Structure formats: structure tokens, C-alpha cells
Amino acid sequence: MKILIVDDEPLARQRLVALLQKCNGYEICGEAANGNEALQRAQHLKPDIILLDIRMPGIDGLETARHLNRLAKPPAIIFTTAYSDHALQAFETHAVDYLLKPIKPERLEEALKAAKRLTRPQLQELSQVEEATKQVRSHICVKIRGSLELIPVEDIRYFLADHKYVTLRTSDHEHLIEESLKTLEEEFGHLFTRVHRNALIADQYMLGLEKNNDGHCVMVIKDINDRLEISRRHLPYVRKKIKHLATYR
């Protein structure tokens, strides 16, 4: 079985390599120093198991696990950490096990055997269960030229739905994601406002309303020239929201 090691400390990765070399039937297919690298390498290397640290720069191990669970073929995840205070959250992401550093060889082998028993359908089912928990992400995972990359939610100007895809717009790029506008609104409704049946706009980038050539109200959005139409149904609420936001700027 192929194993990917993810830890921001080189010495911690070296210790895990040394421990794994004493375990039969496992191949170390790669290493990563952060969540973004973990996603990219998991996509290309397709490990069966990931040994994942929790406290890392950028996105932590818990959020990394949520993104990994969204892969077409999610790996089994075993958390490795020096801290015990994240155990409950770790198991909420449906990790196979939670190992405290310094990791004992017998505990590692026990966790690996548990991961080995999980079939692909069982892992897929776990990822679907995790999806239902609706954990709030700080990043959205997108595919760019065949690689997975993480876009900070705070950089997103709007989400615009079109059939089965949603366009995610930042100040300088557009990305297509396969998530429904409804689930995005449920997760990020505290940061984005529904302005139309097909659009959510980030509150922090709303500058005000103007009318287009057809006489429809559209939203002026900070740093971009795009103007998204406001539906009649949502216009009264959007007006109130803009006034409310203006008092805190």
C-alpha cells in the first residue's frame, strides 16, 4: 500500500520514514510539507494512506483532510500530531486513527492495519458523510491545468451558477467548480449574500448599486469590472444589506 507523509517539519517526516521502513507491505510514495502540497501530491500519486500532521502553516491538517475527502478516490487518513486537543475534530473528519508524537511503532502498525482494512467504497462513503457535516472551509479547492490548488475564501468576489457548474471569481481569475450554489450558500452564507437565483456576492466586496443599459439594478464589485444583476425578489434585502455594511466601513 502506498503512503504519503505530510508534515511541515523535515525531522518529523524523517522519523516517520524510519518507522515505516520497519513495517512490511507499505511503500512511501512521497512527502509534503503543507496542505496545498498534500492535495497536489495526493492527486498525482494516489496514495492509499496519508499520515497527516494537524498544525501546519496555511491550511491545517483538519481542513486538508476535508479537501482530501472530496477527491474521487479519497485516501485513508491517519493524523499524526504532538497535541491531543484536536482528537474530536479529527474523528469528525472520519480519520482512521489519531497518533500522538512521539509515535510508537506498535501504534503506527495498528493504525496502518486499520487503514488497510478499509475498502475504496468504504472510504467513498466516509467522504460523503463528511460532506454532510458541512464544515466551513477557509479555502476552495479548484483544478488548474490538471493540478489542484486552494483559493482562499476571503479572495473570492462572487459565485455564479450556470447549469451544473459554478464560476468562482477572484480579482484576477475565474475558476469552474462542481459545487451547487445552494450548498455554497449554506456553508458561506455569513460571508456572501444571495443577489439572484444564480449568484452569491461576497459582502466585503460590495460597493453599491447602479443601473445598466436595460434599467436593471446591478452590483458594483470592488477590484473588478463585472456587474452582476440583482433580481427584483432580492433587491429589497440587498439594499438593506449595503446600508448595513456601509455603517461598518
Q: What is the pLDDT of residues 50-101, one digit of tens each?
A: 999 999 998 999 899 989 988 888 899 999 988 776 655 655 556 788 899 9
- 145: Cβ contacts below 8 Å, ≥ 6 apart: none
Query: 122 falls in which pLDDT band (50, 70, 90)?
Result: low
| pLDDT top residue among 149 and 236 | 236
SS (H, E, C) the chain: CEEEEECCCHHHHHHHHHHHCCCCCCEEEEEECCHHHHHHHHHHHCCCEEEEECCCCCCCHHHHHHHHCCCCCCCEEEEEECCCCCHHHHHHCCCCEEEECCCCHHHHHHHHHHHHHCCHHHHHHHHHHHHHHCCCCCEEEEEECCEEEEEEHHHCCEEEEECCEEEEECCCCEEEECCCHHHHHHHHCCCEEEEECCEEEEHHHEEEEEECCCCCEEEEECCCCCEEECCCCCHHHHHHHHHHHHHCC
pLDDT of residue 89: 61
pLDDT of residue 132: 44
Residue 248's CB is within 10 A of a number of other CB atoms, namely 6
39-48, 122-131, 221-230, range with the lowest pLDDT: 122-131
Bridge partners, residue 77, by sequence: 50
Q: What is the pLDDT of residues 38-49, one digit of tens each?
A: 999 999 999 999
pLDDT of residue 133: 46
| pLDDT top residue among 227 and 164 | 227
Q: How far apart are CA 44 and CA 227, in angstroms?
A: 38
pLDDT of residue 143: 84
- Which three cell numbers mark 209? 448599486
Say whether pLDDT at 130 is over 60.
Answer: no
Q: What is the pLDDT of residues 169-213, one digit of tens each?
A: 999 999 999 899 999 999 999 999 999 999 999 999 999 999 999
